[in-house]
């Protein structure tokens, strides 16, 4: 007895099945016209929480490290960098800054409706920010603090402005690389982030803390 012939219709359907996958749709809320308000608000929140994380981490590092205490004391007294001062700043900025940027980047990630991978977002933000910070500390700050023709208050304000500008620019560049495939006019994000962080950092950490430091002397 002969075997039944295969169903020609079923065979044709099987052969014509699509070989591609439909990409997951991006939540278009991320491209809303007034998205900048949400971005500014979340960046302000990220700045605030990040600064608190930085202060907490710095306090912990200062408590457990004699190098930090001794180095910072020499730095404050002489207003110049030496080996101890450089070591103190490196230790002081290392873990606290990494923690601060990590926490802040998670808040920024929430502002984008979790449309990017959180691990790569946080990792690239923290590493790029840390690298930019040490670049500023090792090159720009040292050269400015060694100048004797500029008042210390102006030096301090300029250092803070430069640090926030370069660090936020470095972080925002790597964030922009991840956002350019899902955002319309993705350059709006780094523009808002850089302006928010540099502006608030200069006003609060630079001008505000500078006034407090001068009054304590």
- Per-residue pLDDT tens digits for 48-97: 999 999 888 888 877 776 656 665 666 556 555 555 556 666 667 788 88
Q: Is the pLDDT of residue 34 over 80?
A: yes
Contact 116, 108 (CB under 8 A): no
CA dihedral (213, 215, 216, 217) positive or negative: positive
Q: Is the pLDDT of residue 2 over 50?
A: yes
Residues 30 and 113: their CA atoms lie apart, in Å, by: 7
Residues 47 and 107: their CA atoms lie apart, in Å, by: 9
Contact 138, 90 (CB under 8 A): no
Residue 69: its pLDDT value, please? 60
Q: Is the pLDDT of residue 109 over 90?
A: yes
Residues 199 and 191: their CA atoms lie apart, in Å, by: 12
Q: What is the percentage of the chain residues whose pLDDT exceeds 90?
A: 39
pLDDT band at 116 (very low <50, low <70, confident <90, very high): very high
Q: Which residue has the higher pLDDT, 206 or 176?
A: 176
CB count within 10 Å of CB 63 equals 9
pLDDT band at 9 (very low <50, low <70, confident <90, very high): very low
Q: Which residue has the higher pLDDT, 13 or 33?
A: 33
Query: Which two three-digit tokens encode residue 67?
Result: 């190098």
Residues 87 and 68: their CA atoms lie apart, in Å, by: 7
Q: Average pLDDT of the chain?
A: 78
Residue 81: its pLDDT value, please? 53
The residue count of the chain comes to 217
pLDDT band at 44 (very low <50, low <70, confident <90, very high): very high
Candidates 139, 133, 170, 156; CA nearest to 210 is 156
Contact 192, 40 (CB under 8 A): yes
Residue 199: its pLDDT value, please? 94
Q: Is the pLDDT of residue 186 over 70?
A: yes
Q: What is the percentage of the chain residues whose pLDDT exceeds 70?
A: 65
């Amino acid at each position: 007895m002969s075997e039944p012939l295969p169903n020609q219709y079923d065979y044709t359907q099987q052969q014509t099945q699509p070989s591609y996958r439909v990409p997951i749709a991006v939540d278009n809320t991320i491209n809303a016209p007034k998205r900048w308000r949400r971005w500014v608000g979340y960046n302000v929140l990220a700045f605030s929480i990040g600064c608190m994380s930085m202060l907490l981490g710095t306090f912990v590092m200062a408590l457990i490290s004699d190098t930090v205490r001794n180095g910072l004391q020499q730095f404050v007294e002489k207003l110049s960098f030496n080996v101890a001062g450089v070591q103190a700043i490196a230790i002081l900025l290392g873990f606290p800054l990494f923690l601060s940027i990590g926490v802040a980047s998670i808040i920024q990630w929430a502002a984008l409706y979790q449309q990017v991978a959180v691990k790569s977002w946080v990792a690239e933000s923290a590493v790029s920010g840390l690298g930019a910070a040490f670049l500023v500390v090792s090159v720009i700050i040292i050269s400015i603090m060694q100048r004797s023709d500029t008042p210390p208050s102006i030096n301090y304000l300029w250092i803070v402005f430069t640090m926030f500008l370069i660090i936020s620019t470095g972080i925002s560049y790597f964030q922009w690389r991840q956002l350019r495939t899902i955002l319309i006019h993705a350059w709006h994000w780094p523009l808002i982030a850089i302006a928010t962080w540099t502006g608030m950092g200069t006003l609060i950490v630079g001008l505000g803390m500078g006034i407090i430091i001068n009054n304590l002397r």
